[in-house]
Chains A and B, each alone.
Chain A
Amino acid sequence: MLKDQKLIKVLKFLFGMREMALVLVLLVIGVIMTTISPVFLSPLNLRAILMALSVEAPITVGMVILLVSGGLDLSVGSTLAFTGVVTAMALNAGLPATVSILIGLLAALGVGLVNGLLVAKVGINPFITTLGMMTTVRGLLLVLAGGRAVLNLPRSFTVIGQGKLFGVQYPIYVMLFVVIVGDVLMRNSRFFRQNYYIGSNEKAARLTGINVDLVKIFDFCLVAFLSGVAGLLITARFGSASLTVGSGLELKVITAAIIGGASLSGGEGSVFGAFLGALLIAILANALNLMGVDVFWQTLVTGLILITAVVIDVVNERRKRGQK
């Protein structure tokens, strides 16, 4: 009897968690799709889903950490393209791949540092700061590249986006690594847990001795770095640095994080949840594709999921308050 109650409690707790709910939804979609379409579970299709995710997911990890701390970054899409262009130009200037990659990542970190300093030290609102940086960085890369995509990248570089290990492309490994490490850190690491305190009550966090500015700057650098990584992978995959790649990506990434349980007011969210949010969007897009549904429907469905997720949150919260 007592044991049953405990079990019910544990189950209630698990299903109260956003992650479990998302896993269930994903399983249901998986089962339905498997019966409808024989292609769905094929290795080729699964790899395609993961490849599609491999650009967004690492950025989503950085974004959810930033969201937890109460921040937000709209410049990730521009940073992604910027990193690609800078790296590609370094390559075309004859620098070796490793050096070019390093330069590209430093460029990304530079964007993050500027964002972080403007928000933490100057005190500008993150939305405004990164909105400005989104345009500024996009403009900068257009100027740098003279308005043209950078083509003909060497094989020594493109291998990081196209190479395979055990039949699976490298970007998928990178994504899984970032997601797993990010989730473990956000759950267990003292440094990363500080984000929850800052997002929950920044003033109180300062009073308890947390170095709020440092954490914020770190968060902006981290999301910019991960955007840079995604920029490298996508540039390598296509063998050219596009100037328009990543436009609109920021909202996609924020959508995924919020479906995964993050809140724009900070203090809430998990890396795993955000990844599941991104996965849900990707799988639904794939499912609709396989069923031959017009591509326009995907946008509509993504919007509906976001609204549903947020409505569920609000209703849950209200119910809890009522119980009090």
Chain B
Amino acid sequence: MEIILEAKNISKSFPGVLAVENVSLTLGKGEILALIGENGAGKSTLIQVLGGVQKMDSGQIILEGQPVVFASSNQAIRAGISVIFQELSLVDGLSIAENIFANRQPVGVLDNIDWRRLYQQTQELLEKFNLDLNPKSLVKSLTMGQKQILEILKAISINSKVLILDEPTSALTEGETKYLFKNIRMLREQGMSFIYITHKLSEVFQIADRIMVMRDGKKIGTNPVEKVSENDLISMMVGRNIENLYGARKNAFSESETILSVEGLNRRNVFEEVSFKLRKGEILGFAGLIGAGRTEVGRSVVGIDPKDSGRINLDNKEVRINNPKDAIIHKIAYLTENRKVDGLFEGMALCDNIIAPLLENFTSAIGFLDSNQINQYADRRIGEFDITTTSIIKKVMYLSGGNQQKVLVAMWMGIQPRVIIFDDPTRGVDVGSKAEIYQILRDSAARGTGIIMISSELPELIGVCDRILVFYHGRIMGEVLRQDFSEESIMALAAGIVNAKRSQSTSSARQQ
């Protein structure tokens, strides 16, 4: 295969850390190289060097046989290497055309934008890649998957030869991911080369030709995808053997004791007639596509979003939950799917975060907070949940994704929940922390807590849950018991295919 990009002995250090140490890689034309590793392994720094965002300390980059040096990301882009970062660079309020040709719009003599030519060029580009989109549509009307494709198109329209994708699917649904992959494969056939960074190992096997693993700034190895297993990759990433990522089942839940039951929950245009029971010590999965209602039901149960009708029973007694405070009083914890948006206080100290739902517990008679008590408590929790930090007053924004997620867990375990609703528990979390979070959930279930785990990642649901409810268009489409767990059975229900196996307990909920 023709080599398009070669990096030789790249090193890059920041004050106090050697972020990338003597790493080399080659990328063939029309090849997809997956780059995996835990947070802090040096993946981001490496691609920043390749994309001209960071200057390397030593090493060499060879593009199409020519040594190149990039002083800025602009130079890298002009040479043909584009990095598409997790934070999309699209402007929501502008059209598809203006986004793709941002700052490069065809102009007339007076520097006036030639709209006709702009839309026409965009149309040609969209047609070339078989995309059924209108160049005039606003970007905000697109799905996350379409936005990712748009970013890629934007890079292609600048004549990129190498595209570096940084966790492109972290906010995508299963369907959007498929759509993205289909397009990436098509581009590969046309000779485009990709470096694909991800945390999701299952994706690597679907999309990559070769897999490179990094750990602690070093390259651990590169293997063709056929030659490695998921467990091999995990061991390479973590540097030790992780026997079972999802932890050992304890079967702690009792068949009889229902802790939470929801009856006939409705919210107009969002979900309908949702009923389910959660048993003590059970880990119940909510599967389904994004927008199918799984997250929305969770948010209505804890009173973040309103509900139009329905009963919520805790220990067989009806409880009224109209706002998050009520849920906390009833010891129901909701851990949000996006910790940055509505989970953590990133600009605040670690200890302030850990006590956030418990302020009352640390308040004296005159309304003052007891800082000694808070510090002791925070110290204890940091140890208990193995949060890596230099001090308890460190701002949460400076912690790694895995540690941030553990802060969120520590924060909510503090209310001593009887029910935990955990939405997307391992988004943007490294494998090591993933295993720890699953273990925390299992231990908590073993103590009798009922847990609802909402997730898009089927391997995670199948690996951790005792039972899975699948949502489709705002309804519970079906229930899958453990002995019937398979990606196919769940996906079929999530896609609305009804002939999949269902159980008696939920079929009543589907009747009109």
Contacts and interface: CB of A to CB of B under 8 A. Distances in A.
Interface stretch (A29-37, A59-67, A94-102, A194-202): A194-202
Contacts of A300: none
Given A190-B367, A208-B357, A200 B304 contact: no
Contacts of A207: 304, 324, 334, 336, 342-343
A191 B325 contact: no
B14 A322 contact: yes
Chain B CB count within 10 A is highest, among A190, A191, A322, for A190
B109 interface: no
Contact of A190 (B328, B334, B352, B368): B368
A268 B347 contact: yes
B344 interface: yes
Size range of the interface on A? 20 to 34
Chain A CB count within 10 A is highest, among B325, B336, B344, for B325
Chain B CB count within 10 A is highest, among A196, A208, A211, A320, for A208
Given A188-B369, A193-B369, A324-B398, A203 B341 contact: yes
A193 B411 CA distance: 17
A189 interface: yes
A149 interface: no
Contacts of B14: 322
B346 A209 contact: no
B383 interface: no
Contact of A267 (B325, B344, B348, B368): B348
A190 B359 contact: yes
A206 interface: yes
A189 B325 contact: no
Given A189-B369, A207-B342, A196 B348 contact: yes
Given A207-B334, A322-B15, A201 B367 contact: no
A92 B205 CA distance: 84
B444 to A, nearest CB: 19
Nearest to B339: A204
B86 to A, nearest CB: 17
A209 B344 contact: no
Chain B CB count within 10 A is highest, among A196, A203, A207, A321, for A207
A5 interface: no
B276 interface: no
Interface string B387-422: 000000000001000000000000100000000000
B346 A191 contact: no
Contacts of A190: 359-360, 362-363, 367-369
Contacts of B94: none
Contact of B345 (A191, A197, A322): A197
A269 to B, nearest CB: 12
A27 B362 CA distance: 37
B125 to A, nearest CB: 37
A156 B15 CA distance: 66
Given A193-B359, A211-B325, A188 B345 contact: no
Contact of B344 (A188, A201, A268): A201
B367 A189 contact: yes
Given A190-B367, A207-B304, A208-B324, A201 B346 contact: yes
Nearest to B334: A207
B400 to A, nearest CB: 10
A197 B368 contact: no
Contacts of A267: 345, 347-348
Interface in A180-227: 188-191, 193-194, 196-197, 200-201, 203-211
A208 B16 contact: no
A323 interface: yes
B497 interface: no
A197 B348 contact: yes
Contacts of B357: 208-209
A209 B15 contact: no
Interface string A248-268: 000000000000000000011
B186 interface: no
Contacts, number: 78
Interface in B24-69: none
Contacts of A203: 341-342
B356 interface: yes
B244 to A, nearest CB: 32
Size range of the interface on B? 20 to 34
A200 B336 contact: no
Nearest to A267: B347
A92 B295 CA distance: 62
Contacts of A193: 359, 369
Contacts of B324: 206-209
A19 to B, nearest CB: 16
Nearest to A268: B347
A321 B394 CA distance: 12
A267 B371 CA distance: 19
Contact of B368 (A188, A206, A210): A188
Nearest to A194: B359
B311 to A, nearest CB: 22
A196 B369 CA distance: 14
B15 to A, nearest CB: 7
Contacts of B368: 188-190
Contacts of A194: 359
A272 B31 CA distance: 60
Contacts of A268: 347
A261 to B, nearest CB: 13
A155 B363 CA distance: 45
A211 B369 CA distance: 18
A196 B356 CA distance: 11
Nearest to B325: A209
A54 to B, nearest CB: 27
A204 B344 contact: yes
Chain B CB count within 10 A is highest, among A204, A205, A211, A321, for A204
B111 to A, nearest CB: 33
A204 B503 CA distance: 37
Nearest to B340: A201
Contacts of B341: 203-204
A193 B367 CA distance: 10
Given A193-B369, A200-B345, A267-B348, A206 B304 contact: yes
Nearest to B367: A189
A210 B360 CA distance: 11
Nearest to A265: B347
A200 B342 contact: no
Nearest to A199: B347
A148 to B, nearest CB: 45
Contacts of B369: 188-190, 193
Interface string A70-114: 000000000000000000000000000000000000000000000
Interface of B: 14-16, 304, 323-325, 327-328, 334, 336, 341-348, 352, 356-357, 359-360, 362-363, 367-369, 371, 398, 411
20 contacts: A188-B369, A190-B367, A193-B359, A193-B369, A197-B348, A200-B348, A201-B342, A201-B346, A201-B347, A203-B341, A204-B341, A204-B344, A204-B345, A207-B304, A207-B336, A208-B324, A209-B324, A210-B359, A323-B15, A323-B16
Given A188-B369, A200-B345, A208-B324, 9 more contacts: A190-B363, A194-B359, A206-B324, A206-B342, A207-B304, A207-B334, A207-B336, A208-B356, A211-B325
| Closest CB pairs A-B (n = 6) | A203-B342, A209-B325, A200-B345, A188-B368, A190-B363, A208-B357
